[in-house]
Structure 1
Amino acid sequence: MSVRVFGSVMLAAALIGLGCAPAAAQPESPSTTPPFTTPNTDTCPFKQAPAPAIDLSEVPAPGDPIPGPLAVPTDVVGGDTLAGCGVLTPAGSPPVPADISATSWVVSDLDTGQVLAAKDPHGRYRPASTIKILLSIVALRELDLDKTVVGTTADSDVEGTRVGIGPGGRYTNSQLMHALVMASGNDAAHAIAAQLGGDAATVAKMNEVAASLGARDTRAATPSGLDGPGMSSSAYDLALLYREAMRIPTFAELVHTEQFDFPGFPPDPRIPDDKDHPGFPIANDNQLLYNYDGALGGKTGFTDDARHTFVAGAERDGRRLGVTLMAAEVLPVRPWQQGARLLDYGFALPRAASIGTLSATQTGDGAAKKKSDSWPTNGSAAATLAAPPADSIEDHATTGSSSDADAARLAVIFVGSLLVLVLVLIAAALSRKRR
Structure 2
Amino acid sequence: MPAQNKTTRRSLLVTSAVLSSLALAAPAAVAAPKPSDSPSASASPSATPPASMSSVGGARLGRPGTQANLAGGVPALPKDVSARSWIVADAESGEVLAAHNAHWRLAPASTLKMLFADTLLPKFPRDAKHKVVPADMAGIGAGSSMVGIKEEETYSVHDLWLGVFLRSGNDAVHVLSAMNGGVENTVKDMNEHAEELQALDTHVVSPDGYDAEGQVSSAYDLTLFARSGLQKKDFREYCSTVSAKFPGQTKKGKKGKPVRESFEIQNTNRLLAGDSDVPVYQGIAGVKNGNTTNAGATFTGVAERGGKVLLVTVMNPEKPEHNEVYKETARLFDWGFKAAGKVQPVGELVPPKGAEEAKPGANPSGEAGGSGDGGSGTAGTGSKPVASAPAADGSSGIGTALGIAGGVLVLLAGGAFLVNRRWPLPDLVRRRTRP
Q: What is the CA distance between 1:225 and its match in structure 2? A: 0.4
- In structure 2, the CA distance between the partners of 1:384 and 1:187, relative to structure 1 (3 Å rule), is closer
Matches within 5 A, 1:13-412: 41=48, 44-45=49-50, 76-92=55-71, 93-155=74-136, 158-159=140-141, 160-266=144-250, 278-290=261-273, 291-329=280-318, 331-332=320-321, 334-351=324-341, 353=343, 354-361=345-352, 363=355, 371-374=370-373, 382-383=432-433
> Larger Cα Rg: Structure 1 or Structure 2?
1
Asked whether the equivalents of residues 141 and 368 of structure 1 are also in contact (C-alpha less than 8 Å), the reply is no
The amino acid across from 2:92 in the alignment is: D
Q: Quick one: distance in 2 between partners of 1:278 and 1:106?
A: 42
95-104 or 340-349: bigger deviation: 95-104
The amino acid across from 1:357 in the alignment is: E
Local SS of the residue matching 2:312: strand
1:192-244 Cα offsets, whole Å, 9 max, x none, are: 10111100100010010000111010011111001112100000011111111
Larger strand fraction of residues:
2
Local SS of the residue matching 2:249: coil
Q: What is the CA distance between 1:24 and its match in structure 2? A: 9.0
Local SS of the residue matching 1:279: strand
Q: What is the CA distance between 1:156 and its match in structure 2? A: 5.1
Asked whether the equivalents of residues 147 and 172 of structure 1 are also in contact (C-alpha less than 8 Å), the reply is yes
The amino acid across from 1:110 in the alignment is: A
- In structure 2, the CA distance between the partners of 1:350 and 1:185, relative to structure 1 (3 Å rule), is closer
Return the TM-score normalized by structure 1: 0.67
Q: Quick one: distance in 1 between partners of 2:152 and 2:166?
A: 22
Asked whether the equivalents of residues 259 and 283 of structure 1 are also in contact (C-alpha less than 8 Å), the reply is yes
Q: What is the CA distance between 1:370 and its match in structure 2? A: 9.7
Q: Which has the higher contact order (CA 8 A, sep 6+)?
A: 2
The amino acid across from 1:336 in the alignment is: Y
Q: Quick one: distance in 2 between partners of 1:313 and 1:96?
A: 19
Local SS of the residue matching 1:278: strand
Q: What is the CA distance between 1:155 and its match in structure 2? A: 4.6
Q: Which runs of 5+ in 1 are unaligned?
A: 1-21, 30-38, 48-71, 269-274, 386-435
- In structure 2, the CA distance between the partners of 1:359 and 1:140, relative to structure 1 (3 Å rule), is same
Q: Which runs of 5+ in 2 are unaligned?
A: 1-31, 40-45, 253-257, 274-279, 376-430
Local SS of the residue matching 2:113: helix
Query: 1:430 maps to what in 2?
Result: none
Q: Quick one: distance in 2 between partners of 1:286 and 1:342?
A: 16
Asked whether the equivalents of residues 300 and 311 of structure 2 are also in contact (C-alpha less than 8 Å), the reply is yes
- In structure 2, the CA distance between the partners of 1:223 and 1:91, relative to structure 1 (3 Å rule), is same
Q: What is the CA distance between 1:90 and its match in structure 2? A: 1.5
Q: Quick one: distance in 2 between partners of 1:109 and 1:295?
A: 14
1:141-176 Cα offsets, whole Å, 9 max, x none, are: 212222100123345563301100001211111111
The amino acid across from 2:326 in the alignment is: W
Q: Quick one: distance in 1 between partners of 2:349 and 2:374?
A: 27
Asked whether the equivalents of residues 153 and 166 of structure 1 are also in contact (C-alpha less than 8 Å), the reply is no
Q: Quick one: distance in 1 between partners of 2:172 and 2:336?
A: 34
Asked whether the equivalents of residues 125 and 374 of structure 2 are also in contact (C-alpha less than 8 Å), the reply is no
Q: What is the CA distance between 1:383 and its match in structure 2? A: 2.9
Asked whether the equivalents of residues 315 and 325 of structure 2 are also in contact (C-alpha less than 8 Å), the reply is no
1:239-289 Cα offsets, whole Å, 9 max, x none, are: 111111111111111111111111112369xxxxxx966311111110111
Q: Quick one: distance in 2 between partners of 1:314 and 1:350?
A: 13
Asked whether the equivalents of residues 96 and 345 of structure 1 are also in contact (C-alpha less than 8 Å), the reply is yes
Q: Quick one: distance in 2 between partners of 1:188 and 1:178?
A: 9
The amino acid across from 1:77 in the alignment is: V
**Percent of aligned positions with the same letter in both sequences?**
34
The amino acid across from 1:285 in the alignment is: T
Query: 1:403 maps to what in 2?
Result: none
